[in-house]
A and B are shown apart, each in its own frame.
Chain A
Amino acid sequence: MVSWTDYLVPLSQGAWVTVQLTFWSTILGAILSFAGGIGKLSPIRPVRWLSVTYVEVFRGTSLLVQLFWLYFALPVAGDAIGVNLRLPPVTAGVLALSLNIGAYGAEVVRGAIQSVSKAQYEAAKAMNFTPRQTLWRVALPQAIPEMMPSFSNLAVQNLKDTALASLISLGDLAFKAEQLRNYYQDSTTVYTIVLFMYFGMALVLSVLMRLLERNVGRWRGARR
């Protein structure tokens, strides 16, 4: 007879993979958000088109389709042009998750930059700031605090989405849960524990994001 405590060791191993997956794809996703969001506002046309295409494609299709495409279809495309594009599950997982969340984040970044008041841009121009200085010293310090609540939601969304990576045989929490269920046929206990583990991780992530939000909030009124 197995007790529910026997599930905890394998499930914690899975949870650790989920944490790492969430961490890396959120970081990479944040970078892509800024690249895509700023790119969409770029005066250079090819950059703008590239950003718009990126955002539309990854927001317009399903994450699971993107994940399967990177994992199953990309190697075939690679073979056709003679390059080895066989990604290990971890790489495909992190890449798909961050590309997907980055596309949603790009819209947040674009919206926040555009919501900085016009007078700020006029003042920057009057002070003879270069476009780069305007972006880094005027627009972003005011826009980033505005982005934080949406970024918190996206981070939790990303944590939930990592469960899909189990479908390309990545050993995360959802994958371990499925293994345990197959082995012990005790679905109620296993899935109840797993749901609560995801819930706990999401709560911790929300708290961390709120701390970050408070920290970043100081930039709004910063005088440098």
Chain B
Amino acid sequence: MLFGLHWDTAHGDLAFAASILPMLLIGMWVTIEASILGFFVALIIGLILSVLKAAPSRLIRWPALAVAEFIRDTPLLVQLFFLYYVLPDYGIVLPAFLTGALALGIQYSAYTAEVYRAGLEAVPHGQHEAARALDLPARRTFTHVVLPQAVPRVVPAMGNYLVSIMKDVPVLSVVTVLEMLNVAKIIGDQTFNYMIPLTMVGGLYMILTIFASALVRFADRKLPKRGIALR
């Protein structure tokens, strides 16, 4: 029994699969929640990192570069264990789900920081010069000229990272988060049938990533290529 639901092991494979589907869907919902929360954390920390990495002062820039490289080069699993076991030693006790989302966000912030940088750099230099020629103040140049043109370049790349985050959520199962894979593992442990739940998780993941990729492509198509006004 899981989530108050029972599995049916007496009436063949199909009945078993049908009986565990609701449980896997509950797990899938947790997977989606964790991906979205982790994604937002990655967007925010990544923005901070990319600003620090471009800071004029070396005293800020170099540590930021080192931190980003360190995050990028170490495994999510180990970062997650670090947060999960070390934070409580310093009095920060978070629920496993939040620790997991935080770990996902930190891991992917190293990647999103690069996306921000590439997006801003892709705006042609002439645009900056034109803004200067028109005597626009620096702040308005950024918010009204550079940013609107950077956003359409950033969105598809960020979307791809959202899909990657989704595929990394099963790692959170090691800190007891009941996402899809963990649910399947528990069902397998209890019924001695791993084949069906794990295969179903694979199938559900295919559906999830195909759907998410289609959504990213749709957003990419809908965004005007020449930039959107952010007002």
Contact = CB atoms under 8 A, between A and B. Distances in A.
Say whether A associates with B. yes
Given A64-B170, A174-B78, A198-B78, A187 B193 contact: no
Contacts of A56: 206
B6 to A, nearest CB: 21
Contacts of A164: 75, 77, 171
A191 B78 contact: yes
B149 to A, nearest CB: 26
A80 B196 CA distance: 12
A203 B76 CA distance: 17
A59 B194 CA distance: 22
Nearest to A67: B170
Interface string B38-70: 000000000000000000000000000000001
Interface of A is mostly: helix
B190 interface: no
Contacts of B202: 57, 61, 65-66, 69
B73 interface: yes
A186 to B, nearest CB: 10
B20 interface: no
Nearest to A68: B198
Interface residues of B, number: 37
A163 interface: yes
B57 to A, nearest CB: 24
Contacts of B74: 160, 195, 198-199, 202
A6 to B, nearest CB: 18
Contacts of A188: 85-86, 89
Contacts of B199: 69, 73
Nearest to A79: B195
A16 interface: no
B201 interface: yes
B81 A76 contact: no
B78 A65 contact: no
A76 B195 contact: yes
A178 B75 CA distance: 14
B178 interface: no
A156 interface: yes
Contact of B78 (A69, A163, A167): A163
Contacts of B81: 174, 177-178, 181, 187, 191
B77 A174 contact: yes
Contacts of B171: 64, 164
* Ranked 9 nearest A-B pairs via Cβ: A187-B85, A202-B73, A163-B75, A72-B194, A76-B195, A64-B170, A160-B75, A61-B205, A191-B82
Interface of A: 56-57, 59-66, 68-69, 72-73, 76-77, 80, 156, 160-164, 166-167, 174, 177-178, 181, 187-188, 191-192, 194-195, 198-199, 202-203
10 contacts: A60-B209, A63-B167, A65-B170, A68-B194, A68-B198, A69-B199, A80-B195, A178-B81, A191-B85, A199-B70
Given A73-B198, A187-B85, 11 more contacts: A60-B206, A61-B209, A64-B173, A65-B201, A68-B194, A68-B198, A69-B198, A76-B195, A164-B75, A192-B82, A195-B82
